[in-house]
Structures are given as structure tokens and as C-alpha cells.
Structure 1
């Protein structure tokens, strides 16, 4: 289901806007409220800049959480390792300019972009730094983590008021796919109409366009007879009478003028068709990435095609993304793993698909695209492998209408910590958007009390604008697209232990992801107590065990281990499944050499140090299991499951991803003293042919956090 999503305000007498919108199934565009639309206020000033008004529409890509400049548009290859991180720079199409190797597709379209590396808010708080970027003004209120009626209007609300769509005035500013949330129910200021009034809030639609069955509640009129539709409208008008008496005194000139347009919009085949993303060819949908975020970008393209003036696409939360210490782009822990496994693959695929798609359809010349977050990340990597909040300097990208493409504007210093030249403010960004849309940035407008306000305190970034590309001769881009495959939800790689990648020592860390094992048999007799990958034409498994032509002495505290770091762990419940058996020459050998001396355990754990060695771990959940005996050569596997909830023990606190989470299967010697295994003993092994890890996101206030 895809439906309107309300800001957390209540209406009169305890009746919520959501409750009213649900009446009669007409829940989409706020038909019960006056002030849905208003004729634009004209600026008293006229500009002769040819770039003024070049953009007919805007797609605003909001990278919530704060992308790290070092791992995106501003790598620092000559800085120390604790600043530059583990990734390499790659050449873009702009000569002499590099991106991080995790953006190989974006490097290939850099000639269509303008990159700014000197944006600064000097504010390290999500809510207030985002407020400045989204409104163009620093926050002056008591609590930026809460929406209030006195907030400065979101710049999209001012676009809705001053420059509504000519083709679709009832739907000028759209926000996808959810309201901005910092954590659970924290909805920060700067994303509403503020002191202009709620009629200037963006029209928010909540849902997942990647869902094959999604539809827009109240928009699907298929099968509804005209009489039934008229009955719904009549019922709706009865509820409007209550709001009529309250709102008319304050906004009498708004209500009647635009109520009819809103109803027309509801019955508009063109608008309904724009939301039918299922009609897009599979090839196009695949190009954007079959993720909620990728499909929201595709939906944004469809919205501007039908005439929406501004589409704001929030970076979407993943299942379990609330109450962890690296949600969205907020990578306080495991920054390198998050950007490599999730964030950059999603962005690199979806953003480049949007730019290329707009270009191929002839829409890029009239559409301004902005990709930006509320701040950047600290130059220095912290003890959890993360980067913390950093407002003194960060990067963003622009493309499309009025942008002189193929350039880098401004620069940060040698560590990516502060602007080195051409500092840009949040007000400058909003002023640039207004200018390109044809709204004079010196415009003054009135609030509901008749008081005048300046549109923005910033200045357009004229150095970014132009009719001609800044780039004369593109460079040959570097990087490897295969290095950054499309995002996968798989928590583990090579779950069938098919040998897609070799077993690696536990001392190698977790990059690249894959199976780590100890002890490995390299340089040791084949009979040694070790972990081996057994691959044949008709079978494959991993064996933890011993036995063979030479004698083996196994110490009292011996442990064999097979482990893998989770990809993108979140807060919630995990189900680890292992298919295993124990092979030996016969049941007597199984009992005397295995059952009497060893136990098998499944473990979920947090790494205890930054080296990510699974032998140094903080165990979070464990299960001892007893695999069935199976004669050698004919394994008969049993299945075992460990279910464990990973969540913060303190209400309201973030669950710590820390230095990374992992799973392991352990074969541990529990009998006292050494175990002497004679030469010629047939192999005795714990054999594993499949390990899986499933995830269910945590539930907050009855709602699954996605």
C-alpha cells in the first residue's frame, strides 16, 4: 500500500488528519483540508541571468544520515590510513578529479555532474544541520528534533507556494517515501510548511514502490461506479463542514479555489498512471536497482514527467535500521563495511540510473537533480571503525538544468576536515535551487500573520551555472563496476559452502567478506586437527576434524572454528541454521573419538577488536547441538537452528554494531588432557554443507521498522 503520510500534528478536537483522510477511501491528497493549493506569489524583482528559470522541475535526493566525503566524492589518498580509510581513489571523467572506488558508475557519469566539496554548516547535530540545508537558515528554536508551527518552511514548501506546477498545480511538491525520522519517532524540524501553515506541507506518500502489489490508497478508482464515487464525495463534504468553520476565517481565499482542482487530481488518469510503476519495463526497473530507494528514484522520474514541480526522495530505512549505531548513512560504527556492502552499491546504481534515464528521455535539460545530506563524517576513523558527525565540510552533487556540468567546485583541506576555498552554506544551496527554478532569491513573502520574510539569506552559486559544460575533454574513467555489485540483502556469502571463495585465515580480518577458519591445514600433516574445504564433482562441505595416515595429538583446549562476519547487521531477531553431521568409520569410532571428547556450538557474536579476529569475540547468543552420526562416504545431515534477538538492553539506546557482528560454528574439545589419535585412524569430522542466516526486523510500538 502506498498512501499519504502525515506530519505529526493533530487537528481540532482530537481528530487526526489521517482519520479524516480515510473516510470514504479518499485518503490521498488532503481533500478535506482547505489550502491545498494557492496561486504563486510573483517576485517583485526580475533577473536577466539566462540561467534564471532554466529548471522546470527538481528531483531532490536526500541522503539522510550524512554521507562520508572520504568514501564518496572527496577521497584523500595521501592522508594517513586512519583518515583516508581502506579504499582507493579512482579517476572520474573529469581530468585530475577522483571519487572513491566504491562509486565506479558515478565516476563514469562525472562529466554530467557538478560536485561541490566545500559545503559547511559548522553544525554536528542531525536535526539542526539538516534544518539549515533544507530551509537555508540556521535553527533558532528550542528543539530541532521536534516539528513546530513556528519552524522556517522547508524550501519545497516555498516552491509549492511561489512556483506551483503549471501542468499539475494540485501536486507541486511531493515527498517520498516517508517523513524524515532520526530514530524511531523523532521527526525533526525543517520538513514542513512551518509558519506558512500546513497547507504548504509537501504531499507525502508512504510506501514501497518495490512491492509488486503496491497501490495508492484512494487513487485506484477502477470498478467504482459513478454513483458510489459521488456518495464518497458527499460523505467527505460532511466532514469538511467541520473544518470549514474553523479554517475559513483564516484561509477563506484558499479553500474554494483549489478544492475542485484537488478532486480533479483524484480522478486524473495521468496522475494514477504516474504511480503505476509496475508498467515500467523490467529492464528499466532493474537498472535502478530492485530496492525501495532505487524504485523511489524511478517513481520520482515518473512524477516529474507528469508535471510535479519538486520531488524529494528520502534515503529509505532498511528493516531494523532504527536504534542501531550506523543507520542509513549515519555510520558511527563499521563505516567501511556499511558503505561497501550497502550504501555505495545502492547509491551508485540508483543515482546513475536516474541521471542516465533523465538524459536519454530528454528530461535532464529541464530537471535539476541534487544529491545531498545533512552533513559529512569526521576525517578520523573512530575505535568502532566508524566516522562521526561532521558539519565543518562535506560534499554534494548537482546535475541537469542550468548546471555547467563536468566540474568540481570548491575544495576541502588535505584531511577533508574544513573548506580550503569557495565555502558554500545551506542558504547558498537553497538560493541556487530557487534561482534555477525562476524564483528570485531576494523575494520577500508573508506568513499567516502578514509579516514579511526574506526567502533566503544565501546567494546563488553562480560558478556552478552555465549553458556550456565546464569540461572540454573528458578523461578515461577508472574503477571496476564488478568491484561494486548491486546491493544484495544476503547476510552471508557462499551459504552452501560450495567453494566460491577459499577459506581464509582468521587473522586476515573480514575484507573481503567470506568464510574464516582456524586452524587451517597449510603446512601441516593431512591428519592434523583442522578445518578443510572438501569439494568434489557431486558434493561439497566443510569438515572440522582429524584423522589420517599420521598420529595426531589434540590439546585439551583445542577448538576448530568456521566463521563469517554478517553483512549489514541490524537490530532484530536472527535465525542461524546449520546442516551438519559427524562422519567416522563406524559408530564405535564416533563414540570413542568424537562424542566422548567434543561438543558442537553455534554462536552469534560481536568482534572484540578492530582486527575482526573471530577467536577474539563477545558472544551474544549460543546453542550447543548434537549432529547425527553418519558413516563416511554417505553423509546424512541434520538441521539445527539458533534464534537470537539482537537489541539494546536499555530502552531508547542504540544497539551496538560495534566492530562488527558475526556467526560461527565451533568444534570444542571438552574432555580433560590431550587426545592421542593413532596413525591410520579414518577421518573423524564435523561436516557442514549449509549455513544460513535469516533476519526479522525489530518491532517498535507495534510497527515493524523499515
Structure 2
């Protein structure tokens, strides 16, 4: 759920286009730092003159007209995915965030981050296996968008713009997963691709820094309240129980019931390991 266009790492890569995600974009031009109730859900309302039965008839007609002319596999996959999303009542209902009580909207926050987290809760409850929410605040369609790339004025941006929406929406999500009993079957991962420099720069911010940073895990058997690993006193390097990105990947696969040593095949049918890390001792 993002409104900044495609970024590196969002595609399915060597697995092929049919495994690319469905990217949801919030309504354009609306800020989501709490000033307006912009939402990140898609509309599944049929256009005038079309209902479920007519769309199903069109799907059958398309199948008949295709005949022996087989479309490319990715195109056919996307066609079927769109039809399934439009004709599956449970999926359509999951995207209708407006059906949630007003109290729930207020709990998650009247900004795209909160409403995207609320949508993620509904989608996973409807059986969607993986949802990614990108955390930012402000108007993402313009240059004023606020995000965690805090090269300048980092303290004020984090305290006033970035952390309050994240804290509000994430805490509401975790509370709901606990109350519904879904937390044991759901893995929540809060992470970024790198950390920030130990020293503040001249603009009052911190620059990109890959040597040490923090990741949060919840649910799926992860021990509650566990702090695993430490950095040195300046936050420049790991001090104890250092973990690599591959170790994090292995732990995520383990939590999902996928053996980290499992192999997958790319488009050329070459077997490739899904991970070369080790599972971290963070599970109860």
C-alpha cells in the first residue's frame, strides 16, 4: 500500500511478473498527517449498468472468444486475478474499509498510514497471505511528503510528523490481532532497509547507515517483550548477538512454516535457495 510509484524491491524479480504484487494507491493529493480522512483502499463498485452477473457473463464470453489464441501467461494471470477480485464477495468486502465503525477509523488514525493498516487487518482476515504497508505521512503526491528519510531536522520530524501516526496505527493493529485471537497465526514485521548514522549531521538529521539498525517482530510465536542483540554505546556497530538480513529472512520463513533451506526455481528453472541465513532464537 503505497503512493510513490514503483520502487526497487517491490517486484517479484526472477520469480516472474505473475507474482508481482497488487499496489494500492491512496486518493491523490490528500495529506495523511491527520488533517483529512484520506484512505488507502480501492473501490470495487461496479460502473453503471454492470453487476456481478453481467461481469461473470463477460468473463465467460472472453474465454470463448479467446479460443485457441492463448494470451501470454502473465496477462492471463492478471486477467484472472482481476476477475477473481471483482467477483469474490469476501475480497470485495475486505477492501470496503468504510464498513468499519467510526470508532475503528479513529483508533487507527484518519491518515493513509492508519487506514492502510486497518485495510491490512481486513485483508489478512479474509485470507490474503501477505500485505506490505509503507509508512509515511503528509502529501505523498507532492514534494512535501514526510517520510523516515530524515537527513534534516530529524528530531522534530520524528516527534511531530512520523512517530505519532505509526504508534497510533500499529498499536491499534496489534491490539485487534490480540483481541481476535489471530496474533498467533499472524507475523507482523516492522523494518526498514537500513539504519541512520550514529552522529547527527550539520542539518540536524542522520544519513544512511547500513551497519546497524533495529527490526521489530510480533506474533507467530515470537517471544513477547524480548530484546535480542545490542549495539555498541555509540550505536555504530553490533555489540552482541549480531544478526544479518539473511538471518532475519530465515526467521521470517520459519515463522511462516517455510523451511529456510527450501529451494525455488526461477524462470529458467534453475534451483535457488530462498535463504542462506540461520533462524534467530527469538521464538517462544
Say whether the fold is shared (TM-score over 0.5): yes
Deviations 1:164-215 (A, max 9, x none): xxxxxxxxxxxx134xx5xxx6x44222111111001122222259437x86
**Which residue pairs with 1:216 in the alignment?**
42
Q: Does residue 263 of the first structure (1) align with residue 66 of the second (2)?
A: no
Aligned ranges 1:96-107 → 2 under 5 Å: none
Conservation of the 8 A alpha-carbon contact between 1:177 and 1:316: no
**Is 1:375 matched up with 2:194?**
yes
Q: CA deviation at 1:302?
A: 0.5
Which residue number corresponds to residue 414 of structure 1?
233
Instruction: Identify unmatched segments of 5+ residues in structure 1.
Output: 1-175, 467-706
CA RMSD of aligned residues (A): 3.0
Q: 1:292 maps to which residue? A: 112
Contact 1:321 1:328 in 2 (8 A): no
Q: 1:278 aligned to 2:98? A: yes
Distance, in Å, in 2 between the alignment partners of 1:453 and 1:317 is: 38
How much has 1:266 moved relative to structure 2? 2.3
More strand by percentage: 1
Aligned partner of 1:387 in structure 2 is 206
SS of the residue corresponding to residue 395 of structure 1 reads coil
Q: 1:318 is matched with which residue?
A: 138
Shift of 1:232: 4.0
Aligned pairs, number = 275
Task: Name the structure 2 match of 1:442.
Answer: 261
Alignment of 1:628-667 (within 5 A): none
Greater shift after overlay, 300-309 or 229-238?
Answer: 229-238
Deviations 1:196-254 (A, max 9, x none): 11001122222259437x8634x324863466425643675599779834x25xx8xx9
CA distance in 2, matches of 1:264, 1:293: 26
CA distance in 2, matches of 1:243, 1:451: 29
SS at structure 2 position matched to 1:453: strand
**Structure 2 residues without counterparts, runs of 5 or longer:** none
Q: Hey, what's the Cα distance between the residues in 1 that align with 2:188 and 2:69? A: 37
Q: TM-score under structure 2 normalisation?
A: 0.85
Task: Normalising by structure 1, report the TM-score.
Answer: 0.36
Residue equivalent to 1:146: none
C-alpha contact 1:430 1:456 (8 A) present in aligned 2: yes
Cα separation, 2, equivalents of 1:320 and 1:453:
37
Aligned to 1:465: 283
Question: Any conservation in 1 of the 2:195–2:208 contact (CA below 8 Å)?
Answer: yes
- Would you say the 8 A contact 2:212–2:231 is kept in 1? yes
Contact 2:38 2:111 in 1 (8 A): no
CA contact (8 A) 1:331 1:388 kept: yes
When Rg is computed on C-alpha atoms for both structures, the one with the higher figure is 1
Shift of 1:429: 1.3
Residue 374 of structure 1 aligns to a residue whose secondary structure is coil
Counterparts of 2:164 and 2:81 in 1: how far apart (Å)?
41
The match for 2:70 among 235, 244, 265 is 244
Structure with greater helix share of residues: 2
Q: Partners of 1:282 and 1:198 in 2: how far apart?
A: 38
* Contact map agreement 1:321 1:327 (CA 8 A) in 2: no
